[in-house]
Structure 1
Amino acid sequence: MSADGSPRSFSALLPALAPERGRIFSVYLSATTSALTLSALGALAAWGVGHAVVERTLPGTAWWVWLVVLVAARAVLTWHEMDRSHAVAYRVLARLRLVLFDSYSRSVPARRREHSGRAAAVAMDDIEKLEFFYAHTIAQVAAALTAFLAALVAVLLVLPPAGAALAVGAVLVVATVPVLARAARRRGAEEQQQRAELSTQIVDALGALREVLSYGLAEAVTTQALRTTHRATRAGRRRGTIGQLVSGIRDLIVTTTVLAVILVSATAAGVLGGDARISPATLPMLVALALAGVAAVADAATTLTQLHPLTASAARVDRALHRPPVVIATGQARPVPNGPLGLRLRDITFSYDDRVEAISAWSAEIGPGEHVGLAGRSGSGKSTLIALAARLWQPTSGTIDLFTAYGQTVPLRDVDEHALRNTIAFVDQEATLFHGTVRENLLRGAAPVSDDTLRRTLERVDAIGWAPLDLSIGQGGLALSGGQRARLALARALVRQPRILLIDEVTASLDAETERVISNALAAYRGTVLIASHRSGTLSAVSRVITVDGGVLTGTP
C-alpha cells in the first residue's frame, strides 16, 4: 500500500466493523427515506405551483394533505437519521479503538521502537475522523445515489429526453471525482502526516517537561510545533484550492444540466413552439425532479472528493490493526499445573526486528520456589529474558516451559492467557502506575480483595505509612517519588498472589533503604522469583545468580 493510502483502505477496515454493519445499513435506510421524502416534497410542490399557474386552479384537498404529511415526515426522518447516525458513530469509535488496543496488546510497540505519539495520533485523531465516515458519510453518499436513481426513473417515465439529459449531466458530475484526485489525495496525506508529527512533538514535550524547562527548550519546542502546524495548514490550504476548483467545475455542470432539462421540457410542453407532448403544468415538476437528482449526485461527488485526507487515516489505522503479533497463540489454551511452578528455558534465541540477536541459544532452569538473579552489563539481555519469561515476547527459537516439582510440564506458549496472567506477575523498571488512588492501582487486573488484604500487602513493602488506600497518586504516580512508585508497583504484583514473580531492574536507580525494603519483600515471597539486576545488594538476597553476557550463560555462582 502506498504511503498516502488509497480508497481500498476504507474497505480494509470493514471486517473490524462487521458487528456494526446492520446498524450502518439502518442509517442508510433512514437517510434514503429522508432523501426520497425531500425529493417527493419538492416534486409535489412544483406540480402544485405549475398546476395553479397554468390551469389557474388550486390543487385539491389530497394535494394539501400529502404536502403536510411529507413535511412532517421529512422533519421526523431528519431527526431520526441524525440520532441514529450519532449512536452508530459512538459504536464505531469504540469498536475501532477496541480492535486497535487488541492489536497493540498483541504486538507490544516497544519491541519495534515505535513512538507513542504516532500511536496516539492513530487512536485519537485518525479514528475520530473515520467514525463519522462509517457512521454517516457512507449512508449519505448511498442515499444520495439512491435518490438520484429514483429521480432519473421518474423523469424518464414522464419525458425520456429530459431523463437522458439528466443522465448525461450526472455522468459528467461523477467524472469530476477523479479529476486531480491524486493531487488532492497527496495533499490530504501530507496534511495528516504533519498533524501526526505534531502529536508526536507534543507527546515528547509533555513527557519531558522537566527537561524542557530546565534546559530552556520551551521556545524551541514552540517554534517546532508552529512550523509543523504551518506545514499542515499549507497542505490543507492547497487541498482546499484543488477542491474549490473541482467544485466550481461541478457547479457549472449542474447548472448546465438543469438548463438542458428546462429546454427539453419546455420544448416538449410547446412553450417554445410546436406541438405539446406534455402538459405545461408538468414542466415545474420535471425541473424540480431533475434538480433534486443532479444535486444529489453533486453532493455525493463533493463528499467523495473531500474524502482524500481520510485515505491516509484509513491506511494508518488499517496498518495498526494488522500489526504482526509478537506472541502467536497455538490455540491449545492449556491450564496451568497446580502447585509451585518453575521455569525452564531451552536454547532461547531472540532478536529485535532487523537487529542482531539479543539472546543466542540460551538455557537455564529455575526450580519451583527458587529465587534466582540475572546479572550482567547493560545490553547483555537480562531484560529481554525477563520479558520472554513473561510471554510478552516470543523467542525466535527455543522453548520456555512451566514445570512442577513432580515433573508435570506445559509449554509457556500453550498456557491459557487469563490463567497465565494470574500465575505470573511482571514488575518492570519503568512500571506504569495509573491515574487514580492507591486502592485502584493495587486492584488493577486483580480479583476483588478486602482493604485489610491491601494494607497487609502495603506493609510488606513498607508503604503503609505514606500510601493510604484513598491517596490520589496522579498520572503515572507523579505525586510519588521514584522509590515510592517502585514499592507500589511491587505491591500491585503481590496483591495478585502470583506463583512466579518476574522483576526487571526495579532497584536500579533507588536509594539503599528502598533497595533493602524491596529485597526483604522479595526474600519473604514464597513463590518463584527471577530478578534481573546489576546491584549487588539486590542480588545478595537471592539463592543463585546467573551472569548473562549477550544471552550467554557465563556463570552460576
Structure 2
Amino acid sequence: MSTTPPRTDPLWALIPALSAHRGALIWTGLVGLANNLALVFLAVAGSYTVTLALVEHRLAEPGWWITAASAVLLRAVLTWHEMDISHSIAYRVLAALRMALFDGFARGVPSRSPDQHTGRLAATAMGETEKLEFFYAHTLTQLAGAAVLLIGALLALGGLGPTLAVGFALGCAALVAFSLPLLRKNARLGERIQRAKSDQSALVVDVLSGTREILSFDLRDRVGEQLSASTRRIVELERRLRVRESAAASIRELCTLAILIVVFVLAWNQPGLERVWIPAVIAGTLTVLAPLTEAVAVLTQLQPHRASAATVVAGISLPTEGPVERAIEGSAERSTERPIVESSERPAEYPSPGSTRRGSSMRMPAGPLGLELNAVEFSYAPDAPALAPTWLTIAAGEHIGIAGRSGSGKTTLARLLARLWEPDRGSIHLTAETGAHYDLRDLDLSGYRSHVGLVEQDATIFHGSLWDNLRLADPTLTEDTALHTLPRAGLTLDPGRWPAGVHTELGEAGSGISGGERARIALARALVRRPRILILDETTASLDARSESSLLDALEALRGETTVITISHRPSTLARCDRVVQLPALHREPGPRG
C-alpha cells in the first residue's frame, strides 16, 4: 500500500530557496519586534504619566520621562532602519526567487506537457514573485513579531493577575475562531481569482503573439469580447473578496473592543492593582492587539500569496525532462523491431566494449563526434507515442538527412539528440574517433550542449540587434569573429540592407527581417559556438529556392569538420546530404507536433 506524503504549504516550501538571506530576514524581524516593544512601552508610559497627573495631580518620577524620551528616539532610529533593510531584503528575495525559477525553467523547458504555457511562465517570473517579495521581506517577520508580542502580553498580564491573562487569552482565541470561517472562504475565492488571472495571462500572450492572424481573420471583436469577459470575471471575484475582507475587518474590530472591555473589567476588579495603572494596562493591551489583529487579517488574506507561492514552487520544481513513467504491454516484443534499417546487419549489442559506466558526469571526448541510437522511443503521454523504436548510426563528420511524414517524430528526434528531452526507452551514445561509446546521460549536460547546435524552423529571434542575437551564443564574441561567421552562414551584410552592420536592429521577434535572413541568422548564431554536431530541423521549410540554395552552400563548407543532421521534407534539401534515412509514420491519435 502506498502512502501519500503530507502536503507542504507552498509559502513554507519556498523558505529553502531563501536560505542565503535567512540571517537578514531574522534581523528584520528582530528590528520590527524591538520597534513594537518600544511602542508598547510608550503607550504604557504615556497613559501612566497622564493618569498620574490627572488623578493624583503629580508628575511621574524623572526616570519615566528619561526612559520615554529614549524610547521615542529609539523608535525613530528603528523605524528608519526597518524601512531601509526591508526594502533591501525585498529586492534580494525577489532576485533569489527569480534565479530559482530560471533554474527550474532551464531544467524543465521545453516540456512535453501540453498544458505548459509561456504566458503562465512569464506571469510567474514577473507577477507572482513580486507579490511574494513583500510577504517574505515584511509580512512573515510581522507574523512572527505578533506571535512574540502575544506571548509577552500574556506573561505581563499574568504577572498582574492570572484572571487578566486568561481573559486576554480567551478573547484572542475568539478573535481567531471568528476569523477562521472567513479564512477558508477567502482561500477558495482567492484560488479562483488566481486561476482567472493565470488564464488571462495566457490569453494575452496568445493575442500578442498572434496579432497578424487576428487582424487577417478579422477576430478583433471576438478577442476583445474574450478579454473583456475575463476582466469582468476577475473584477467581480475581487469585488466579492473585498466585501468579505470588509466583513472580516468589522468582526475583528468588534472582537478587539470586546477584549478591551474584558481586560478593563478584570483589571478594575483585580485585587492589589492600583487604579492609576488601569489606563496603562488598557493602552498596552490595545497596542499589542494592533499588530495581532493585523496578523489575523493577513492570515485571512494569505490565499493570493499561497497561490502565487504554489505557482513559483511548481516552476522551481520543474523536473529535468525524463522518461514517461508507464507500463507498455509487449514492450519486450516491440523492442526487437527495426523501423529504421540502414544496413543488412543488426547493430552491435550494447553496451559496447568502449562504453562508459553510468552515473558519472564525464567530459566530452576529443576529436570528431558521431551518434548511435539503439531502440530509442519517446512519447508525450502513455497513449501518445511520438517516436517509434529507432536504430541509427551517424558517422563523425557525416551530413545525414532525416525524412518522414508529418507526425513521424522528426522534431522529437532533433530534441532528443540535442538533449532537450531524454528517451523513454533505449539509449543514445556519442561515438569518439577512438571507437569508444559514451551514453549521453553520462556526459556533462552543459558540456554536451556547448558542442551541439540546434536550429529549428521557428528559431526565436530576440528583440535587439544582430550583434545582440549572436552574442547570446557566446558573450565573449568579438565583432571580427561575428563578421567572419556570418558569411559561413550565407549572410552578407550589404550596407543598403544592413546600414549599421552587425548593430542593425532586427525588430521584435525579427519582424524586420525575411524568412531567409531569419534562418541564416539562426544558423550563424549556432556556428558562433563552433558546434561539432549541428542539427537543422526544417530550417529551409519556409525559404525560396534561392535562399535555400544559399543556406545549403553554407552547410557544404562545414563538411568534414562538423556532423550535420538535416531534418527536412524537401527533396531539394535532402539531395545535398550524404544519405537519407526515412522515419516511418506513426499510427496514433493526434497529439503534440513531432
TM-score (norm 2): 0.87
Pair 1:374-2:409 in alignment: no
Match of 1:540 in 2: 575
Matches of 1:7 and 1:155 in 2, distance apart? 36
CA deviation profile, 1:42-95 (whole Å, cap 9, x unmatched): 111111112212221122332222222111211221222222222222222222
Match of 1:320 in 2: 315
Matches of 2:480 and 2:563 in 1, distance apart? 25
Pair 1:457-2:459 in alignment: no
Match of 1:301 in 2: 296
Matches of 2:484 and 2:517 in 1, distance apart? 16
Matches of 1:99 and 1:538 in 2, distance apart? 42
Matches of 1:136 and 1:483 in 2, distance apart? 52
Matches of 1:280 and 1:182 in 2, distance apart? 42
Change (3 A) 1:322 1:156: same
Give the letter aligned to residue 169 of structure 1: G
1:108: Cα distance to partner? 2.2
Match of 2:556 in 1: 523
Matches of 2:308 and 2:473 in 1, distance apart? 32
Matches of 1:330 and 1:84 in 2, distance apart? 48
Query: Residues 437 and 473 of structure 1 are in contact (CA less than 8 Å); yes or no, is this contact kept in structure 2?
Result: yes
Match of 2:78 in 1: 77
Pair 1:480-2:513 in alignment: yes
Give the letter aligned to residue 294 of structure 2: D
Pair 1:506-2:539 in alignment: yes
Q: Secondary structure at the residue paired with 2:362?
A: coil
Matches of 2:242 and 2:110 in 1, distance apart? 35
Long gaps (5+) in structure 2: 1-5, 324-356, 588-594
Q: Secondary structure at the residue paired with 1:441?
A: helix
1:475: Cα distance to partner? 2.5
Matches of 2:447 and 2:117 in 1, distance apart? 31
Q: Quote the sequence identity (%).
A: 39
Give the letter aligned to residue 81 of structure 2: H
Q: Secondary structure at the residue paired with 2:427?
A: strand
Q: Secondary structure at the residue paired with 1:332?
A: coil
Matches of 1:463 and 1:50 in 2, distance apart? 88
Matches of 2:19 and 2:298 in 1, distance apart? 24
Query: Residues 533 and 564 of structure 2 are in contact (CA less than 8 Å); yes or no, is this contact kept in structure 1?
Result: yes
Matches of 1:28 and 1:40 in 2, distance apart? 18
Matches of 2:197 and 2:314 in 1, distance apart? 18
- 5 Å matches for 1:1-40? 8-40=9-41
Match of 2:182 in 1: 180
Give the letter aligned to residue 427 of structure 1: V
Match of 1:411 in 2: 439
Matches of 2:289 and 2:359 in 1, distance apart? 54
Matches of 1:305 and 1:385 in 2, distance apart? 50
TM-score (norm 1): 0.93
Match of 1:193 in 2: 195
Matches of 2:359 and 2:71 in 1, distance apart? 57
- Equivalent residue pairs, number: 541
Query: Residues 44 and 284 of structure 2 are in contact (CA less than 8 Å); yes or no, is this contact kept in structure 1?
Result: yes
Matches of 1:93 and 1:177 in 2, distance apart? 30
Matches of 1:346 and 1:65 in 2, distance apart? 84
Pair 1:277-2:272 in alignment: yes
Among 411, 428, 452, the residue aligned to 1:424: 452
Matches of 2:8 and 2:134 in 1, distance apart? 16
Match of 2:282 in 1: 287
Pair 1:497-2:530 in alignment: yes
Change (3 A) 1:84 1:7: farther
Query: Residues 85 and 135 of structure 1 are in contact (CA less than 8 Å); yes or no, is this contact kept in structure 2?
Result: yes
1:377: Cα distance to partner? 1.4
Matches of 1:330 and 1:133 in 2, distance apart? 44
Query: Residues 347 and 363 of structure 1 are in contact (CA less than 8 Å); yes or no, is this contact kept in structure 2?
Result: yes
Long gaps (5+) in structure 1: 269-275, 553-557
Match of 1:41 in 2: 42
Instruction: Indicate the RMSD between aligned Cα atoms, in angstroms.
Output: 2.1
Give the letter aligned to residue 380 of structure 1: S
Structure 1, 67-76 or 487-496: larger mean CA deviation = 67-76
Matches of 1:409 and 1:25 in 2, distance apart? 52
Q: Secondary structure at the residue paired with 1:178?
A: helix
Among 261, 264, 267, the residue aligned to 1:265: 267
